[in-house]
Structure 1
């Protein structure tokens, strides 16, 4: 079962799923292809996002943000703190720090 489902609009509506694996969220296309991922490292009572990436053909659609949001949702659900070494996640956290005070380290 997907961790998260999201609809992507463009040349027609597409449903994409985010699934959680060990220390990784994968974004699957409507055809089941892995088109993005966010890796994290558990550390004490926190998770550190180490990498976020989306395939070239799917960039510019807000999919990296969906992956980071899945990490935020996991942190809230499991009462963990969040940190990041991934440049995208660091920037996202900086831009949204007011709404993430409950999870940011």
Structure 2
């Protein structure tokens, strides 16, 4: 097990409120149209236009609405708001999730959304 994987797993366990029994990260590349930036909730509202799964990942289907806070490519921090995609733009977003069993909550899914810069 690589050091990066162990660190990521430790971060997931802390974020989930305790130890989590988890599998591997599942990844989807989503083409989304940004509908709006929510000012109060601080999230992007987007519509999925297309989805491509890497492996056995369960991707949101075209037409699905998403709300998320964009993160850096390494998933270690949130993107500064000035770097968020603008409303009306179409971007590719890497959606990454990990299903597991969280200590205090039972089944849980840790999710990350990161715009793919080309």
Pairwise same-fold verdict (TM > 0.5): no
Greater RCO structure (CA 8 Å; 6+ sep): 2
TM-score (norm 2): 0.21
TM-score (norm 1): 0.23
| Higher helix proportion | 1
Which one has a bigger Cα radius of gyration?
A: 2
| Higher strand proportion | 2
